[in-house]
Amino acid sequence: MFKWLKPARPGRAHGPDSVRMLAERAEQCAAQDRLDEAIEAYGEALSLRPDYAELHANLGALHRRKGNSGPAEACYREAIRLRPDFHVPHFNLGNLLREQRRLAEAEAGYRAALACKPDVAAIHHNLGEVLRDQGRFGEAMACYKRALLVAPEYQPSRWHRTLLALLTGDFRQGLAEYGYRWKLAGAEQPRDFVQPLWLGDGDPSGRTILLHAEKGFGDTIQFVRYVDRVAALGARVVLEVPAPLMPLMASYPAAAQW
């Protein structure tokens, strides 16, 4: 939800059912997940101030939370009609349209939001997302980079820039930045070994190297092929995988132990 952005019109009476109080009641109900009550309160407020763009935008956000995509879209478009320079409904409309895979329309929504407010990292990032969804990888990467110019530590763009680099075969950048996954909110932290992490530096010949699974079964099966490459360098490879994959991996010839 968004803060109350404007005062009511000068001269309008303020009683217990004023627009401001109805909007505050709606925000309180929304914060408590009492969405139907919040929607009703915004509806009452809009009956008094049908020209208030912020109310339409907030009501649209509630409808989206409830999964009411049609009413949400209508609210966002009405907010845009009333205040074309208000970036929030443009941005939220873009998000809604992207969820519906209406990618060209979503792109237009994000670009309209940026025209209103170009200094918001999330808008640049989400434009990058919808461009990536359309296979326009170079443009998507440029959007992630612009988001990081606005907010250098914006996590979504830092991480998705890395993933896009890997997707497009830029392994030098993608692998160099892949450790950023441990800094993401709620991310699993790296395991703490006494032995140093081997990053490909130095001759591994005659040394024992542990290669351990980190992600899901699919990633483990996909990347186990690198055991061969490490073993070919002369290292003794110890392979650690999740227990359910042991029958599959136990016969892997390049691993000395698993």
CA pair distance 13, 223, nearest whole angstrom: 68
Alpha helices in 117-170 (DSSP H): 121-133, 137-150, 155-167
Please state which architecture CATH assigns to domain 19-183: Alpha Horseshoe (1.25)
Distance CA 21, CA 16 (A): 7
Q: Measure the CA–CA gap between 88 and 123, rounded to whole angstroms.
A: 10
Tens digits of per-residue pLDDT, 178-192? Answer: 888 888 877 777 778
Q: Domain extents for the chain?
A: 19-183, 191-258
pLDDT digits (tens, 9 = 90+) for 74-100: 999 999 999 999 999 999 999 999 999
- Report, as an integer, the average pLDDT of 229-244: 87
User: To the nearest whole number, what is the mean pLDDT of the chain?
Assistant: 88
pLDDT at 42 over 80: yes
Instruction: Report pTM.
Output: 0.80
Alpha carbon of residue 240 to chain centroid: 31
Among residues 88, 60, 90, 87, the alpha carbon closest in space to that of 75 is found at: 60
Q: Which long-range contacts (CB under 8 A, 24 or more apart) does 71-78 make?
A: 72/96, 73/97, 78/53
Q: What tokens does 140 get?
A: 């998507």
SS3 136: coil
Question: What's the pLDDT at 110?
Answer: 98
Torsion angle, alpha carbons of 122, 119, 104, 5, to 10: 80
Torsion sign (Cα): 77, 79, 84, 90? negative
* Greatest extent of the chain over all pairs of C-alpha atoms, in Å: 85
What number of H helices and E strands is found in the chain?
13, 2
Q: What is the pLDDT of residue 131?
A: 98
> What is the per-residue pLDDT across 194-232, written as a single tens digit (0 to 9) for each?
888 887 778 888 888 888 888 789 888 888 888 888 888
- Structure-token pair, residue 7: 């005062």
Please tell me the distance from the alpha carbon of residue 88 to that of residue 56, in angstroms, as a whole number.
Answer: 11
pLDDT at position 180 is 85
Q: Hey, which residues does 212 pair with through a beta bridge?
A: 240
The rounded distance, in Å, linking the Cα atoms of 54 and 88 is 9
State mean pLDDT over 159-182: 91
